[in-house]
Structures are given as structure tokens and as C-alpha cells.
């Protein structure tokens, strides 16, 4: 597990996001450290998606500040966030199933022998890089020219993660990376996350509804409910039922059972 003796790699202070009269986030403070898996948990509508869209440059906050490596940043687009070292891997992965592993890895950033749109691709070098970068986090690709559609769901997640890291992600935001996968593929993804964590210099924000996965992999937890932080702490701070209660928006299990019986 990560030792949080360093400064946070990414930090938010008092983030607020309003959509008209609706407040999606209301004063969210968050710190994520290098080499740490930080689980961001909460029920639907808690504000998780809004928060990661602010961090990845899709939304601008109404109020509050974002710091990356101690420097205040302001994002006007996802390109700004990527340039600051924030890589977001969404559930849809932004992969083209019909094209090769290599072409997906370099999508829009192909290496060519000559500048401009008509440069000849450095195919062999791109194949080598894609294969090596995926192997670093646990997936051995026999043929980098195979269509992505022939890969397992876990391998596709690994491809998207490896791509983000290769192109400079210091902060890796993973949006429900195991949600649509079978159990074996889920474990593939968790092993990939663990390998990335072992690099020691990348901060990982994991958004998940899976309590077991959060317990297995996360060093630190932040719980959101109705746009506000209702709990934070390390894995050592949390007792067995704390995660269940906080994931349910702070409600006690007994209270929920009574509500269900009405």
C-alpha cells in the first residue's frame, strides 16, 4: 500500500458544480497521492460522475480549485486535462473493435516517418511499443495487429490503461473498470491496477460500485452522497460495516430495512 508521506499528486478544494438550480457537487475536498489507489464510492446520483468530468476537463467547476503536483490548474477542455497528466478511462473505453491493437493504442497519435497527414507510418516501432507497454502491466499480446474485437474485456481495459500511461498520465481515473466483465476478467483488471500502483508514481482514482473490489485494491476511500463528502479514510480506518453504510449514503442498514418494509 502507498505511504502518503508525499504531497498529493492531485487535490481539489471546495469543488462546487451547479447545473441551474441543481447542485451536483457541494464543496468537495479530495487528495490523491502517488502510488495510491483511491476508491471513489457512492450511490447513483452521489456526484461521482460530475467530479471525474471536472477532473478530466469535461465540465468547469462553478467554484473551487484543482491542484496537480501543487500547481493550481484550470481546464477548459479534456485536452487541457490530458496535457496536465490526467488520463481518464471511461466505461466505453473509446476503442474501435474493428482495428488493430496498435492502431487503437496510437489512435490519433500515430508515429510517422514524415510530418503531416501523409507521412508513412512507423508500423514496426508502433507495434513494438504497444506490445511492450501492455506487457508492463500484465498482458502479453501475441499479435499487435489482431483486431481489438477479438480481445477479452479485461485485455481491452488493459490496452486503454496502458495507452493513457504511455501518453503521460500521472493521474489515472478508472470509471467502473470491472462493471461489465465476468469474474475472471475482473481479476485481470484488478491485477492490472495493482501493477500500475507498483510503479509508485501514478495516482489512481477508482470509481466502482463493487464493495469487494474496493476492499481488495484500494488504499484510501472517499464516499460521496448527494454531492458532498460523507466519509474519508484509509482502508485501516474502516470497519466491516462502514463501507456498506457509507456506500448507502450514510444510512444505517437497519434504517434501510425499515424503509423497505413500509
Query: 133-188, pLDDT tens digit by residue?
Result: 999 998 899 899 999 999 988 899 999 999 999 999 999 999 999 888 888 888 89
What pLDDT, on the 0 to 100 scale, is given for residue 6? 79
pLDDT tens digits, one per residue of 36-73 = 999 999 888 899 999 999 999 999 999 999 999 999 99
The CA distance from 95 to 130, in Å, is 14
Q: Is the pLDDT of residue 249 over 60?
A: no
Quote the pTM value: 0.86
Segment 200-217 mean pLDDT: 90
Q: Express as a percent the part of the chain with pLDDT over 70.
A: 86
Using alpha carbons, select from 28, 49, 9, 68 the residue that is nearest to residue 204.
9
What pLDDT, on the 0 to 100 scale, is given for residue 213? 87
pLDDT bucket at 237, cuts 50 / 70 / 90: confident
**Over the chain, what is the mean pLDDT?**
87
Q: Where are the domains of the chain?
A: 10-261
Lowest mean pLDDT among 74-83, 93-102, 192-201: 93-102
What pLDDT, on the 0 to 100 scale, is given for residue 215? 85
pLDDT bucket at 247, cuts 50 / 70 / 90: low
Checking 108-113 for CB contacts under 8 A at 24+ apart, the result is 109/167
What pLDDT, on the 0 to 100 scale, is given for residue 243? 62
Out of 3.40.50.2000, 3.90.1150.10, 1.10.1380.10, 3.40.50.300, select the CATH number for domain 10-261. Answer: 3.40.50.300
Residue 146 phi/psi, 5-degree rounding, is: -70, 145
pLDDT tens digits, one per residue of 119-128 = 678 899 999 9
- Higher pLDDT, residue 259 or 100: 100
pLDDT tens digits, one per residue of 85-104 = 999 998 877 888 999 999 99
What pLDDT, on the 0 to 100 scale, is given for residue 23? 96
Per-range mean pLDDT, top range of 102-116, 192-206, 237-251: 192-206
Q: Express as a percent the part of the chain with pLDDT over 90.
A: 65
Amino acid at each position: 500500500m502507498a505511504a502518503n508521506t508525499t504531497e498529493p499528486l492531485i487535490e481539489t478544494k471546495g469543488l462546487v458544480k451547479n447545473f441551474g438550480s441543481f447542485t451536483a457537487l457541494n464543496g468537495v475536498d479530495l487528495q490523491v497521492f502517488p502510488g495510491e489507489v483511491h476508491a471513489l464510492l457512492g450511490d447513483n446520483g452521489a456526484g461521482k460522475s460530475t467530479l471525474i468530468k471536472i477532473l478530466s476537463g469535461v465540465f468547469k467547476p462553478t467554484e473551487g480549485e484543482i491542484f496537480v503536483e501543487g500547481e493550481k490548474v484550470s481546464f477548459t477542455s479534456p485536452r487541457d486535462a490530458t496535457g496536465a497528466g490526467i488520463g481518464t478511462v471511461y466505461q466505453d473505453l473509446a476503442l474501435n473493435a474493428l482495428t488493430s491493437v496498435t492502431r487503437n493504442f496510437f489512435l490519433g497519435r500515430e508515429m510517422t516517418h514524415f510530418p503531416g497527414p501523409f507521412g508513412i507510418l512507423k508500423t514496426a516501432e508502433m507495434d513494438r511499443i504497444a506490445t511492450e507497454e501492455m506487457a508492463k502491466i500484465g498482458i502479453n499480446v501475441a499479435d499487435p495487429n489482431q483486431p481489438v474485437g477479438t480481445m477479452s474485456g479485461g485485455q481491452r481495459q488493459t490496452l486503454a490503461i496502458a495507452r493513457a500511461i504511455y501518453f503521460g498520465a500521472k493521474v489515472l481515473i478508472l470509471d467502473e473498470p470491472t462493471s461489465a466483465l465476468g469474474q475472471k476478467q475482473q481479476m485481470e483488471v484488478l491485477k492490472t491496477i495493482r501493477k500500475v500502483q507498483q510503479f509508485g508514481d501514478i495516482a489512481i482514482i477508482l470509481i466502482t460500485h463493487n464493495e469487494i473490489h474496493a476492499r481488495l485494491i484500494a488504499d484510501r476511500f472517499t464516499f460521496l452522497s448527494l454531492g458532498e463528502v460523507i466519509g474519508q479514510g484509509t482502508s485501516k480506518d474502516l470497519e466491516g460495516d462502514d463501507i456498506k453504510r457509507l456506500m448507502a449514503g450514510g444510512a444505517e442498514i437497519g434504517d434501510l430495512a425499515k424503509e423497505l418494509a413500509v
